[in-house]
Chains A and B, each alone.
Chain A
């Protein structure tokens, strides 16, 4: 069996059930072996698989297995799913409830020849479900169903295998044993396998290569370690451009408003920041650009900004075209103002001021 690559360039407006729509826009190349597609639910993982399998149509793009194009929006190529020879195991498995295990597995083989039956028997044995051949799907366990679904897909000798969280809900031991059987099968056939999951444990356990997806875009790709560590490093790197990096403790989450309140360390200050992946009590860091903070010399009224902190100017430092002030509100903030503003407001060390922080100028940084 020759080793073929799957190459997919897909653009599609993604309309989730709950999440707001966003653009799925990515370019992946999948080599023979297991590649994990990792990301939170609603990142567009299943939509990508549906596009590759031909169950849904990308708005634009090109999908090819080696040199054979199965979809090309420019050349108006759109091969129907039944001709793509791409196997797809759904999260729901979708075993045919009215057929026996054997009939399910044989479904993709059009003929009922001796040879076809031999292949069914062989793969049933390989996935250790040969004893269940006469049972109906409702009469077998969850792990057995997953084995049958894999066998049913692989017996057709597909060119690519797509797996959409096929092993969710199984305990680690059972999962590992099924994955071992899948690896054993692929050692002989060497096809690209795209395995979707949102579980970090599965990424660690399975992946040779990982592609991380967020909001329809690839955010990182590489080995499991590289990818799993990437978000934190990325966010810290981002935070490096911020003059204010404050330690804080999460107080409460207000999910309907998309915000959470945090308490700044060693101070009486509480501010509202955009909702992040955190729970009350978590230690987090809040990054704010000095130029995003407004400064007033009287208590501001009737503002949309949610965070108004009272404080005193500690120092003012003139830099070429701006003045960097340090203001103590319990926590110390760095604030940038223009020289003109410094003159008009008669700013000076010791003066009482109010800082105004828009909620969305406060950036949540993990860890």
Chain B
């Protein structure tokens, strides 16, 4: 048995939120100084700030993923799903713990975030591919495939601001779908686009998983999760409730939600 492609050991993530909530306004220098001074003189302020300053978005998560698995990550809003993906994508750091990835990980968090409206479709393909970690040679090689998938041949040299939102989404997903990373981290891609587009996305993700790559898939769409993922991971307020067969997990999730 080979090593798991993803190993997550006792990983936790703490967010410091104190100085940014409860009517204190933004973290500007003035607000911070103001807050610190108040805290110095008032017991009440000190107590409040201790309670408010930290929140554990993830608590002691451990799990492993074998190469080629498609894992669903489910849980209610604020349960830590996106934080987990962000840590795996190295966008933010864990506060404690260790994660070992045996392969390149690419994040597909909200497709199209690297797009620029003033650039043409062609320019956006290169820019976005490069942002997602593709080499220029790689993009050159897959350029025609991407254009064909996105169905934007005619508008290749038109600025993206003239695209319909459907075309925009197709192009964004097309670039991401042609990444050559071993691990794909996908957050709620299906929340946008029409039904046809969603079906196409699901189909592509099925193809990607059959090509032997590993996918971590965050979604609220239970139908999509049960279709794509053999195993799933259930999170609730930062802790891992369960990690096993998708059907079992979805049942537990339903039970938790009804409680």
- A and B assemble together: no
Q: Which A residues lie at the B interface, using CB under 8 A?
A: none
Which B residues fall within an 8 A CB radius of A?
A: none
